[in-house]
Amino acid sequence: MGKDNLGKHTDQNTSWDISGKGISNNYFYPIYGIILLIILFIIYIILKNPEEPVVMIRRFVGTCGYLTMFLAIITSEYMAKMKKVSGLSFIKAHHNLARVGILLILIHPLTFALEGRGIQILSPISQTNIFIALAGRPAFYLFLLTAGIALYRKRYKNWRKVHYLSYLAFLLVSTHALMIGDDFRLTIMRILAFSMAVTVIAIFIHKRLASRQKSTGQKRR
């Protein structure tokens, strides 16, 4: 192959790669748009009922963290399909959503500490009669556990079994939001919380059934 032909061939490959990358990146734009709409919606709800700055920050990070963890769970369910459609790996998107979600739900209780309620607000133990209402506390540590086990998944053969606790954590957060969440007194937010909880339960059941079918198929071989 001559130098001229080789140069043309290289240029064609380069332009194809750039074009392909641009096309693939277009699949991220709807995700960015959804996240932006969610943030604007939360800000709108918070501004409808303005309070002290610290309280408004608590409401914002709490609600955003809750929704971000939901998106992290959703991406875990459809990562293979997303990669097949777009050609991009969505595992980084899943991990980044999980990191942001955990950071936000950490800031949420810390705002109480800023108001003088002390660091005990981070204790996973609460009175029995209000445990369910304060279920966000143990949920936070469950999220940390599942994130940690996923980070070191190469060292643990059965890491997925522990990682499934993230679904329980999300249901605990949903209970927490529905019982004492300031912004979840609104009908639309309650419907949203119930819908997300049902979706997470459905994803968990689907994953478990798929895992069992895979195990059964391997045993038959």
Average of per-residue pLDDT across 134-145: 85
Whether the predicted pLDDT of 71 surpasses 50: yes
Whether the predicted pLDDT of 193 surpasses 80: yes
Q: Which residue has the higher pLDDT, 31 or 6?
A: 31
Residue 29: per-residue pLDDT: 67
Whether the predicted pLDDT of 16 surpasses 50: no
Residue 20: per-residue pLDDT: 43
Count the neighbouring beta carbons within 10 Å of the beta carbon of residue 188.
Answer: 11
Residue 192: per-residue pLDDT: 92
Return d(Cα 147, Cα 153) in angstroms, integer: 10
Residue 60: per-residue pLDDT: 93
Residue 17: per-residue pLDDT: 42
Whether the predicted pLDDT of 91 surpasses 80: no
Q: Is the CB of residue 137 less than 8 Å from the CB of residue 122? A: yes
Query: Across the chain, what does the average pLDDT equal?
Result: 77
Residue 19: per-residue pLDDT: 42
Whether the predicted pLDDT of 106 surpasses 50: yes
Kindly indicate the confidence band of residue 170, based on its pLDDT and cuts at 50, 70 and 90: very high
What residue ranges do the domains of the chain occupy? 30-118+131-220
Q: Which residue has the higher pLDDT, 30 or 141?
A: 141
Residue 200: per-residue pLDDT: 93
